[in-house]
A and B are shown apart, each in its own frame.
Chain A
Amino acid sequence: EVQLVQSGAEVKKPGESLKISCKGSGYSFTSYWIGWVRQMPGKGLEWMGIIYPGDSDTRYSPSFQGQVTISADKSISTAYLQWSSLKASDTAMYYCARHVFPHYYYYGMDVWGQGTTVTVSS
């Protein structure tokens, strides 16, 4: 079964760092782009960025460039989303998702993780 399993909920303070994970299984992890999507409480989906685990090629939305870091460790089939200094406005649900076709990312995301809730509060 193709699936993405994300790390558990996090509660952090402003200024702290955080790295959440997304582990793929059941398919060739290195061949499919993985995307990260933010959903703030009661709001819509926001495209954050993507990574190709095969060579760690990464693209960011202009809105998130410099605010987060996307990385991957292909040896353990895991993608990451990282913050160096969290803000209260980072409070949201974060989803990872696999793209439909190997090697390409324009077509859509067909396999989604269960989501990771991040709460940032003093």
Chain B
Amino acid sequence: QSALTQPASVSGSPGQSITISCTGTSSDVGSYNLVSWYQQHPGKAPKLMIYEGSKRPSGVSNRFSGSKSGNTASLTISGLQAEDEADYYCCSYAGSSGIFGGGTKLTVL
């Protein structure tokens, strides 16, 4: 069971939009719209940003949005802010087991 594929790094300037992809297979990402996304700042626990593919938990900025096409899910952050600089992970399920992506380091220039 291999990790979902994410770009190692992405970057953007304040105010811009960026998209992080998360590619799996028809057995995981492609099966259901159940991808979740997590933000992790250094030394901190992960924080849920998107669940069930595109839903935001209470308190998460509407600058964060999720989508899916085929076997690839995406996290888009609009109006980049300095505090968005962090690692981002996607997570999906294959059968009864979950699987994370390798993580993407977002740098705000």
Binding site for B on A (CB under 8 A): 35, 37, 44-47, 49-50, 59-63, 95, 97, 100, 105-110, 112-115
- The answer on a CB contact under 8 Å between A47 and B98 is yes
Interchain CA distance A109-B91 in the complex, whole Å: 10
Given contacts A106-B34, A108-B52, contact A59 B46 (CB under 8 A): no
Given contacts A44-B3, A47-B91, A110-B51, contact A59 B96 (CB under 8 A): yes
Q: What is the distance, in angstroms, from A82's C-beta to the closest C-beta of chain B?
A: 19
Across-interface contacts of A59 in B (CB, < 8 A): 96-97
Chain B 45-76, CB-CB to A under 8 Å as 1, else 0, gives 11110111000010000000000000000000
Chain B 89-100, CB-CB to A under 8 Å as 1, else 0, gives 101010011111
Interface membership of B102, Cβ < 8 A: yes
Given contacts A106-B34, A115-B45, contact A100 B98 (CB under 8 A): no
- The answer on a CB contact under 8 Å between B34 and A112 is no
Interchain CA distance A107-B37 in the complex, whole Å: 10
Main secondary structure of the interface of B (DSSP, over half): strand
- The answer on a CB contact under 8 Å between B1 and A61 is yes
- The answer on a CB contact under 8 Å between A45 and B48 is no
Interface membership of B103, Cβ < 8 A: yes
Among B1, B96, B97, B103, the residue within 8 A (CB) of A45 is: B103
Closest 3 A-B residue pairs measured CB to CB?
Answer: A108-B51, A108-B36, A47-B98
Given contacts A60-B97, A112-B46, A114-B45, contact A100 B89 (CB under 8 A): no
Q: What is the distance, in angstroms, from A97's C-beta to the closest C-beta of chain B?
A: 8
Which residue on chain B has the smallest CB distance to residue A110?
A: B48
Across-interface contacts of A113 in B (CB, < 8 A): 45
Interchain CA distance A35-B36 in the complex, whole Å: 14
A and B contact pairs by CB, cutoff 8 A, 10 listed: A44-B101, A45-B40, A45-B46, A61-B97, A62-B97, A95-B45, A95-B46, A107-B51, A108-B91, A113-B45
